[in-house]
Amino acid sequence: MLAKGIFLSVAAAISLALAGVHTAAEQAYPVRPIKIVVPYPPGGPSDVAARLVSQPLAAKLGQSVIIENLPGAGGRTGAKAVAQASPDGYTLLLGGTNPNAIAQSIYNSLNFEPIRDFTAVGVIGVDSNALVVNPAVPVHTIQELIQHSQANPGKLSAGATLGIGPHVTLELLRARTGASMLFIPYRGAAPAISDLLGNQIQIGMTSKAVLLPLIREGKLRALAVTSDDRWPELPDIPTMRESGFHGVPAYLWIGLLAPAQTPAPMVEKLNASMNEGLKAADIQASIAKLGLEPRTVTPQEFTARLADEARLWAAAVKESGVKLD
């Protein structure tokens, strides 16, 4: 009994000591640079968004914030790396709807759990997409596109980054309307847009930041936007809903996530620093230039939003018939 009592006392002492170490580490956090993993190539809207938020984070936290691009597999490569990282507050994911709310429905198997393996930190903004065509295609509405494709079977190709929202939406359009178009998968938006401009493919869909300048210059023609309301910059272009295409998730949420089990005090510190920094007028203006609507939410609100997005996209993926290995 005496030995057992001594053992329990030692165990309790060790637990208290470890708790003290964790508390001290959480209070001192951060004491070294923080890394944000962007699961897409450099230069895209997500990469720029991460670099924008890194500036106020570094200023508020007093430590450097480093961007590391780990593209591949529709965002899964970078997401997996963060899911497996130590939950110490020093490795974050630039994630959101695509890797954390769509992946679990679209891929037959994943080696990480897109929601369970992460702790939501905060939102940078929400994005929306546009359905566009090369100007050589003689259509100006979704209905005209469907009719033209059916009258010219096998002549139209659509392209987008594989395994993300625009891919699902294009396949949903085809499944729902009987449009005749071949889907061409791409590793990123840049090569898809390049081929769209060159008329190697005729139909595309991606974010506002990428498409708006090209639409304004007449290099691409917009048929509809996915947002709830028309884009202020394109007041004559209807929404998907106005075009009779209902049930399409409207937005893509972009934010920061940490590995699951990251201590709550660290998450709250990151969230507070991030939200305070995002209130700055210059940062908001830069985010708006990316086509994003700035948002500031709590970690709990972001967690709930991702769960809602997962349900919305699961229904869209099921109807579209998209499944990937």
Rounded to 5 degrees, what are φ and ψ at 26?
Answer: -65, -40
Encoding tokens for residue 67?
């961007």
The burial of 251, by beta-carbon neighbours within 10 Å (0-12 exposed, 13-18 middle, 19 or more buried), is given as buried
DSSP string, 7-71: HHHHHHHHHHHHHHHHHHHHHH--SS-EEEEESS-TTSHHHHHHHHHHHHHHHHHTS-EEEEE--
pLDDT-based confidence at residue 111 (cuts at 50, 70, 90): confident
Average pLDDT, the chain: 91
- Mean pLDDT of the region 186-191: 84
pLDDT-based confidence at residue 247 (cuts at 50, 70, 90): confident
The pLDDT of residue 290 is 85
Q: Using alpha carbons only, how large is the chain's radius of gyration in Å?
A: 22
* 51-102 residue pLDDT tens: 999 999 999 999 999 999 998 777 888 999 999 999 999 999 999 998 999 9
All domains of the chain, ordered by start, with CATH?
31-126+252-320 (3.40.190.150), 129-225 (3.40.190.10)
Q: To which residue do tokens 């060159």 refer?
A: 198
Report whether 69 contacts 82 (CB < 8 A).
Answer: no
- Mean pLDDT of the region 270-289: 92
Residues 303, 181: Cα–Cα separation, whole Å? 36
* 6-32 residue pLDDT tens: 655 655 655 555 545 557 667 799 999
* 286-323 residue pLDDT tens: 988 888 888 899 999 999 999 999 999 999 999 999 99
Report whether 302 contacts 120 (CB < 8 A).
Answer: yes
Residue 189's closest CA among 157, 169, 167, 215? 167
